[in-house]
């Protein structure tokens, strides 16, 4: 392979999401089948042996794009020169908890990792925060970015988008690939707003294909908002393979511009678009304008229902920001 290898860090490397994620990164699903990758597996010291076991299995897959691994608990070494950082390592919630209940324990991880990324990663590093509550953890990490670019710090709502696609396709008797332009607005939490008003199924507006408005406004939205809890209740553990798949989708779309429709959902540092306070990490519809370049889609007409829902999720994010104000670098 002629391309130089790209270094990809994954925290929480011994955890359940990582077990679904690392093999796909190594096999070329993240950055392309012609792009060699070096994996940086980061976890806490007691879990390094387990991470080394995962590396043994990756070697045993003989993927043509796999160019080696670093396994470490030291964030400076783990983020050294990395081009892409997937911040997965954090506590998951259990039954009966909300993701925001994790803020106190998980938030501090992102102070240390944000600092280590800013000091050690490639200056153009692209970051995806998966560990919950991912928007506000990303806000903490991005606030530490001085040498690196805070615009390159993003959080994951692609899983919510994919969930919305699945629900709409099921209801319409269509294939997931027929559903376009369903974007998640706001927080990865039960207040998120899947904006179906702009979405299409087979080229027709969702509202023309699914005429049961009560279902769209009611069960559809609440199913997407609470799908994480539904999976936890069924599995006893939070989603893992679908979360790993969404992380692959998020980075692959960002890196290549390949999105299902005109745009995709990414939680990014708000520039004030649509009146969302600047600096909040907020999920918007984003267009990928060139490899690794995104722009928030402008000019969407938001009706009263959408505006009210977006206010609720914005207020929740403001409350989370307030709860971690000591963790945010000035
Ligand atoms: P897990 O418990 O299976 O694995 C977490 C791993 O992170 C463990 O190996 C743990 O040792 C490691 N870890 C903890 N602190 C660390 C640190 N400071 N540095 C490096 N590694 C550290 O959990 P999981 O199921 O893989 O989930 C990980 C996180 O992802 C959770 O917070 C979960 O809620 C979140 N999640 C987010 C989404 C999303 O859509 N944004 C979806 C699913 C799960
Ligand atoms: C999800 O949406 O599946 C994850 O955020 C895990 C969770 O706690 O719901």
Domains in the chain (CATH in brackets) are 6-155 (3.40.50.720), 158-321 (3.90.110.10)
Ligand nearest to the CA of 16: 1
Confidence of residue 258 (pLDDT cuts 50, 70, 90): very high
Which numbered atom of ligand 1 lies nearest the CA of 156?
41
181-240 pLDDT, tens digit each: 999 999 999 999 999 999 999 999 999 999 999 999 999 999 999 999 999 999 999 999
16 lines ligand 1 (CB under 6 A): yes
Phi first, then psi, for residue 310 (nearest 5°) are -70, -30
Residues 6+ apart with CB under 8 A from 246: 156, 158, 159, 161, 162
Query: What was the pLDDT predicted at 2?
Result: 85
Residue 160 has pLDDT above 90, yes or no: yes
Taking the centre of ligand 2 as the mean of its atom positions, its distance from the CA of residue 239, in whole angstroms, is 6
Alpha-carbon span 80 to 176, nearest angstrom: 38
Confidence of residue 152 (pLDDT cuts 50, 70, 90): very high
Question: Which residue owns the Cα nearest ligand 1 atom 12?
Answer: 12
Taking the centre of ligand 2 as the mean of its atom positions, its distance from the CA of residue 106, in whole angstroms, is 14
Residues 6+ apart with CB under 8 A from 74: none
Mutate to test the pocket of ligand 1, among 9, 13, 16, 17 (most ligand atoms within 8 A of CB): 17
Question: Which residue owns the Cα nearest ligand 1 atom 16?
Answer: 89
Q: Which helix (H) or strand (E) holds 71?
A: strand 66-72
Mutate to test the pocket of ligand 1, among 40, 46, 90 (most ligand atoms within 8 A of CB): 90
- Identify the active-site residue in 40, 122, 188, 305: 188
Question: Which residue owns the Cα nearest ligand 2 atom 9?
Answer: 228
Structure letter (DSSP) for residue 210? -
Query: What was the pLDDT predicted at 95?
Result: 87
State the average pLDDT over residues 259-285: 97
Taking the centre of ligand 1 as the mean of its atom positions, its distance from the CA of residue 299, in whole angstroms, is 36
Which numbered atom of ligand 1 lies nearest the CA of 42?
20
227-256 pLDDT, tens digit each: 999 999 999 999 999 999 999 999 999 999
Q: Is 40 labeled as catalytic in the residue annotation?
A: no
| This prediction's pTM | 0.98
The pairs formed by 208-216 with CB atoms below 8 angstroms and a separation of 24 or more are 209/172, 209/174, 210/168, 210/171, 210/172, 215/171
Confidence of residue 329 (pLDDT cuts 50, 70, 90): confident
Taking the centre of ligand 1 as the mean of its atom positions, its distance from the CA of residue 238, in whole angstroms, is 10
Which numbered atom of ligand 1 lies nearest the CA of 237?
25
Phi first, then psi, for residue 286 (nearest 5°) are -125, 145
Query: What was the pLDDT predicted at 177?
Result: 97
Query: What was the pLDDT predicted at 21?
Result: 98
Query: What was the pLDDT predicted at 169?
Result: 98
Taking the centre of ligand 2 as the mean of its atom positions, its distance from the CA of residue 34, in whole angstroms, is 32
Residue among 1, 2, 57 nearest 26 (CA): 57
State the average pLDDT over residues 319-329: 94
User: Is the separation of the CB atoms in 184 and 297 below 8 Å?
Assistant: no
158 lines ligand 1 (CB under 6 A): no
Token pair in block for residue 196: 């179906």
Out of 4-13, 91-100, 297-306, least confident range:
91-100
Question: Which residue owns the Cα nearest ligand 1 atom 22?
Answer: 89
Query: What was the pLDDT predicted at 144?
Result: 97
22 lines ligand 1 (CB under 6 A): no
Alpha-carbon span 222 to 215, nearest angstrom: 10
User: Is the separation of the CB atoms in 123 and 147 below 8 Å?
Assistant: yes
Q: Judging by beta carbons within 10 Å of its beta carbon (0-12, 13-18, 19+), is residue 33 exposed, middle or buried?
A: exposed
Alpha-carbon span 303 to 207, nearest angstrom: 14
Mutate to test the pocket of ligand 1, among 85, 89, 114, 224 (most ligand atoms within 8 A of CB): 89
19 lines ligand 1 (CB under 6 A): no
Q: Could you give the residue ranges of the DSSP H alpha helices within 43-143?
A: 48-61, 75-78, 103-120, 134-143
């Amino acid at each position: 392979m002629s391309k130089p290898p790209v270094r990809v860090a994954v925290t929480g490397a011994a955890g359940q999401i990582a077990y679904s994620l690392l093999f796909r990164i190594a096999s070329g699903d993240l950055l392309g089948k012609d792009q060699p990758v070096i994996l940086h597996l980061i976890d806490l010291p007691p879990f390094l042996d387990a991470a080394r076991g995962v590396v043994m299995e990756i070697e045993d897959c003989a993927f043509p794009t796999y160019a080696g691994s670093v396994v470490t608990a030291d964030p400076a070494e783990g983020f050294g020169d990395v081009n892409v950082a997937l911040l997965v390592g954090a506590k998951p919630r259990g039954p009966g908890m909300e993701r925001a209940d994790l803020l106190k324990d998980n938030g501090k991880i992102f102070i240390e990792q944000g600092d280590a990324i800013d000091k050690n990663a490639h200056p153009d590093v692209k970051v995806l925060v998966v560990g919950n509550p991912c928007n506000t953890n990303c806000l903490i990490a991005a606030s530490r970015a001085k040498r690196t670019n805070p615009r390159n710090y993003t959080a994951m709502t692609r899983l919510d988008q994919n969930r919305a696609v699945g629900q709409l396709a099921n209801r319409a008797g269509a294939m997931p690939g027929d559903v376009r332009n369903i974007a998640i607005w706001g927080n990865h939490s039960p207040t998120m707003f899947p904006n179906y008003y702009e979405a299409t199924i087979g080229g027709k507006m969702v509202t023309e294909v699914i005429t049961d408005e009560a279902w769209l406004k009611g069960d559809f939205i609440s199913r997407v908002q609470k799908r994480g809890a539904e999976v936890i209740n069924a599995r006893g553990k939070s989603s893992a393979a679908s979360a790993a798949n969404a992380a692959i989708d998020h980075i692959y779309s960002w890196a290549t511009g390949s999105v299902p429709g005109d745009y995709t959902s990414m939680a990014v540092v708000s520039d004030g678009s649509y009146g969302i306070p600047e600096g909040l990490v907020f999920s918007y519809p984003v267009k990928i304008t060139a490899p690794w370049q995104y722009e928030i889609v402008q000019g969407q007409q938001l009706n009263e229902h959408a505006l009210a829902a977006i206010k609720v999720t914005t207020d929740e994010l403001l409350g989370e920001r307030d709860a971690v104000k000591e963790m945010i670098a000035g």
